[in-house]
């Protein structure tokens, strides 16, 4: 199952752990700019099921702020309400592996109510 958070940001459901309980998702981020492009795939993100449910509840209720963070705290996507039908989406990713350079990526964009509704609908399929 996939969740198209943005045209350039897609979550794919990979697995479920009953022990934690947590969802394993992968994330692909591919924004295109005039004259440049970025491509990043994060293959293993574990998100606590309660965190997923709270995030989905907050965006479904169109709360002032909703945040989705993985268990390692190096992946975060936040939704901030700017106006009645406008939301800022902020993506922060940090890749920090042993004996490797640290890579940080931050991305902000604004979406409307129709896009948020689409995200909510596709996210509900993962519950």
pTM for the whole thing?
0.85
Tens digits of per-residue pLDDT, 30-64?
888 877 888 888 888 999 999 999 999 999 999 99
Burial class of 64 by CB neighbour count within 10 A (0 to 12, 13 to 18, 19+): exposed
Q: CATH number of 2-124: 2.40.10, 2.30.31, 3.30.390, 2.60.220? A: 2.30.31
Tens digits of per-residue pLDDT, 67-125?
999 999 999 999 999 998 999 999 999 988 778 788 898 999 999 999 999 999 988 87
Who contacts 96 (Cβ-Cβ below 8 Å, separation ≥6)? 74, 102, 103
Decide: helix, strand or coil at residue 14: strand
With a cut of 70, say whether residue 127 has pLDDT above it: no
Cα separation, 74 vs 70, in Å, equals 7
Q: Structural domain boundaries of the chain?
A: 2-124
């Amino acid at each position: 199952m996939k969740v198209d958070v943005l045209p350039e940001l897609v979550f794919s459901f990979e697995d479920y752990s009953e022990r934690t309980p947590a969802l394993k998702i992968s994330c692909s981020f591919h924004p295109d700019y005039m004259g440049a492009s970025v491509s990043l795939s994060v293959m293993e993100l574990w998100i606590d099921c309660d965190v997923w449910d709270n995030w989905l509840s907050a965006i479904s209720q169109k709360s002032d702020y909703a945040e989705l963070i993985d268990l390692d705290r190096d992946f975060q996507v936040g939704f901030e309400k700017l106006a009645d039908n406008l939301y800022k989406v902020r993506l922060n990713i940090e890749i920090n592996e042993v004996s490797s350079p640290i890579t940080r990526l931050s991305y902000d964009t604004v979406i409307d109510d129709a896009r948020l509704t689409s995200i909510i609908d596709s996210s509900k399929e993962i519950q």
